[in-house]
Amino acid sequence: MKHEIRHDLEPDLAKLAATKAVEAYRERFSQYKFSERWVDDAKMAFDFSVAGKTLEGTLAVGASAYELELDVPFVFRVFRGKAVEIIEREVNKWVGKARAGELDEPSASS
Number of domains in the chain: 1
Q: Which amino acid is at 35?
A: S
In a domain, 56, yes or no: yes
pLDDT tens, residue order, the chain (110 aa): 789 999 999 999 999 999 998 888 888 888 988 899 999 999 999 998 888 888 899 999 999 999 999 887 777 777 778 878 888 998 999 999 999 999 875 444 44
Q: What is the DSSP letter of 14?
A: H
Detail the DSSP E strand segments found in 20-96.
35-40, 43-50, 53-61, 65-71
Residue 42 has a pLDDT of: 95
Could you tell me if 83 and 72 are in contact, meaning their C-beta atoms sit under 8 angstroms apart?
yes
In a domain, 88, yes or no: yes
Q: What is the pLDDT of residues 76-89, one digit of tens each?
A: 777 778 878 888 99
- Domain hosting 77: range is 2-99
Predicted confidence at residue 110, as pLDDT, reads 43
Residue 94: inside a domain: yes
- Would you say residue 104 lies in a domain? no
Report the CATH number at residue 38.
3.30.310.80
Q: Is residue 37 part of a domain?
A: yes
Q: Given strand 43-50, what is the order of strands in its sheet? A: 2-6, 65-71, 53-61, 43-50, 35-40
